[in-house]
């Protein structure tokens, strides 16, 4: 890593306590009505913080975090990239859009290897089938399928995962119906294109951070081994699951295998090519490891076919997962963490498993591991392994305990934490649980605030995107649970408990998450580096 230097902020005065950044994952600023989980929950601490003079609203979606348009909801990955990088980088979906539009995605070595396998074997596409544009987009899959047809690939199989999280909770037929029709239309001139398997994203394939390898194992059995409940088509599988359980939502739908004449139509075989077409990395790493890693200990794979495997993107730049990918990732450099390490600033990052990678890997510009282990400490609290609406308090107490201990010890100048409650519970659509999740974060904030006040430090509170701020939508008097992220702004608050510096609120045009890094540097006594988006605070 090249040496990165910071200059002192003129007029800044030192103080004894730390700067503590709290990221309330998925807690935006909603309509302040019955649908707004923050507004209707018991939040006396947040109510007080929202009245602080150093309060602002930040954009956390669309172009403000590098996504293609302002119709695109933000997410935790691009949000933490922006928070940690101090600038906006072109991100996931937009990178893929550009690569498809330019044709670059089909000119690389990975696509050439896929073409070579297609001459004798089957090309398999595994991924999330929706237009949620958080992990994947159906347009990307369609572009890949059309290219396969134009280049004469004879046999293609899609292993589709149902969303129900970034789109409507029972919208699977809206995507799999047209997909199967498209595949049927491409199955001419000797081509054979079909959906081969599938399942809900939260129980099939898309685990993250080693939380539950059984999820990946279920996907492996369905996609690779052709083992699972059999149906004549994906559409018939979805209809059957809906009919059997009226409360079934797509994200938790059991796996299925499409069979013909009693045999699976598309298990992965030696000589095939496999593409995982999600662009977002967190829920793509484990399935990539299952295809590539030797030795492998995640689960018992059984038959492991000899295939060429590629991701849509490189999902972990440090660990080089996967080895092959179709689209180059954004090169995020000069992160806040790198600058702080260069200046000798000690730091601590804490969250539970569900968001631990966000305050480390994504915060550090899609790089895993420490920047400087002598100066940094990362603490992961193991998450519960059950539905989040059943324990909506999650590990907020344990995260807070770890931070209180660190504040009292006085060893870390900068502490950053993520409370996942608003996002993970918000995705369940269970109103009572969302209220408990929000109230839990508020309670934790009260404990943190007392500790920061005692240490004479600075508390900074924000969020990475919205979710819990919209629990339902209403049309014609009928409520529908809203389980996706929102386009709402997020709060930003500085509570200076040190009294050392007379901060004023700066007002950059259209402030977004990328301005937080410069703000944190100012609070710690440094001027922002050249090219960083402007700070949200200033000294008179």
The average pLDDT across 423-442 equals: 97
CA atoms within 13 A on the CB side of 27: 31
pLDDT at 477: 87
Residue 133 pLDDT more than 70? yes
Contact criterion met (CB below 8 Å) for 378 and 355: no
The average pLDDT across 412-417 equals: 98
Residue 209 pLDDT more than 80? no
Ranges of CATH 3.40.1450.10 domains, the chain: 93-327
CATH classification of 93-327 is 3.40.50.300, yes or no? no
The average pLDDT across 376-397 equals: 97
Q: Which residues contact 356 (CB under 8 A, 6 or more apart)?
A: 209, 378, 380, 381, 418
With the CA atoms of 289, 295, 301 and 307 taken in that order, what torsion angle do they form, in degrees rounded to the nearest 10?
Answer: 60
The average pLDDT across 88-116 equals: 95
Q: How confident is the model at residue 318 (pLDDT cuts 50, 70, 90)?
A: low
Residue 2 pLDDT more than 60? no
Q: Which class in CATH covers the domain with range 19-90+332-538?
A: alpha beta
Which residues participate in catalysis according to the annotation? Answer: 76
Residue 317 pLDDT more than 80? no
* pLDDT single digits (tens) 66-80: 988 888 889 998 999
Q: How confident is the model at residue 368 (pLDDT cuts 50, 70, 90)?
A: confident
Instruction: Extract the tokens encoding 240.
Output: 């059957």
Q: Which residue has the tokens 């209403």?
A: 474
d(C-alpha 493, C-alpha 536), whole Å? 10
Instruction: Extract the tokens encoding 533.
Output: 């988006």
pLDDT over 70 for what percent of the chain? Answer: 99
Instruction: Extract the tokens encoding 270.
Output: 């030696």
> 3-state class of 357 per DSSP?
coil
Ranges of CATH 3.40.720.10 domains, the chain: 19-90+332-538
With CA atoms as reference, report the closest residue to 366 among 286, 309, 435, 285. 285
Pairing status of strand 478-481 against strand 263-264: unpaired
pLDDT at 316: 76
pLDDT at 320: 83
* pLDDT single digits (tens) 5-57: 999 999 999 999 999 999 999 999 999 999 999 999 999 999 999 999 999 99
């Amino acid at each position: 890593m090249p040496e990165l230097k910071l200059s002192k902020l003129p007029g800044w005065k030192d103080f004894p306590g730390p700067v503590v950044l709290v990221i309330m994952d998925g807690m935006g600023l909603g309509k302040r009505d019955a649908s707004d989980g923050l507004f209707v929950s018991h939040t006396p601490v947040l109510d007080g913080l929202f009245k602080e003079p150093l309060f602002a609203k930040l954009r956390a979606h669309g172009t403000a975090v590098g996504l293609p348009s302002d119709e695109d909801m933000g997410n935790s990955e691009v949000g933490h990239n922006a928070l940690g990088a101090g600038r906006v980088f072109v991100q996931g979906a937009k990178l893929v859009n550009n690569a498809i539009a330019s044709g670059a995605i089909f000119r690389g070595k990975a696509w050439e290897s896929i073409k070579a396998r297609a001459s004798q074997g089957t090309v398999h596409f595994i991924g999330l089938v929706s237009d949620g544009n958080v992990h994947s987009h159906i347009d990307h899959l369609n572009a890949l399928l059309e290219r396969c047809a134009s280049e004469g690939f004879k046999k293609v199989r899609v292993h589709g995962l149902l969303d129900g999280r970034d789109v409507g909770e029972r919208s699977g037929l809206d995507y799999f119906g047209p997909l199967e029709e498209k595949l049927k239309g491409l199955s001419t001139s000797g081509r054979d294109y079909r959906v081969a398997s599938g399942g809900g994203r939260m129980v099939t394939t898309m685990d993250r951070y080693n939380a539950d390898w059984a999820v990946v194992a279920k996907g492996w059995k369905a996609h690779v081994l052709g083992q699972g409940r059999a149906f004549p088509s994906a559409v018939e599988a979805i209809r059957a699951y809906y009919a059997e359980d009226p409360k079934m939502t797509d994200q938790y739908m059991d796996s299925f295998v499409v069979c013909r004449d009693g045999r699976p139509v598309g298990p992965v075989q030696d000589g095939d090519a496999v593409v995982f077409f999600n662009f977002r990395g967190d829920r793509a790493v484990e399935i990539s490891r299952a295809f590539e890693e030797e030795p492998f200990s995640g689960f018992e794979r059984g038959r492991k076919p000899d295939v060429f495997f590629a991701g849509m993107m490189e999902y972990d730049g440090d660990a080089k997962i996967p080895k092959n990918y179709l689209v180059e990732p954004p090169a995020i450099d000069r992160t806040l963490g790198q600058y702080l390490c260069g200046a000798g600033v000690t730091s601590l990052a804490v969250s539970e498993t569900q968001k631990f990678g966000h305050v480390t890997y994504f915060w550090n510009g899609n790089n895993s591991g420490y920047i400087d282990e002598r100066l940094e400490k990362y603490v992961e609290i193991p998450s519960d392994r059950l539905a989040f609406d059943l324990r909506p308090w999650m590990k907020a107490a344990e995260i807070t305990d770890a931070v209180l201990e660190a504040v009292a010890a006085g060893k870390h100048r900068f502490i950053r934490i993520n409370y996942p409650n608003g996002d993970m519970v918000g995705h369940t659509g269970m109103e009572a649980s969302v209220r408990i999740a929000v109230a839990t974060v508020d309670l934790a904030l009260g404990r943190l605030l007392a500790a920061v006040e005692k240490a004479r430090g600075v508390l900074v509170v924000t969020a990475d995107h919205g979710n819990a701020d919209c629990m339902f939508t209403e049309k014609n008097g009928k409520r529908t649970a809203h389980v996706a992220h929102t386009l709402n702004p997020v709060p930003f608050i500085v509570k200076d408990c040190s009294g050392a510096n007379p901060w004023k609120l700066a007002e950059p045009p259209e402030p977004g998450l990328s301005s937080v890094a410069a703000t944190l540097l100012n609070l710690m006594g440094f001027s922002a580096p050249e090219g960083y988006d402007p700070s949200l605070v200033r000294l008179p």
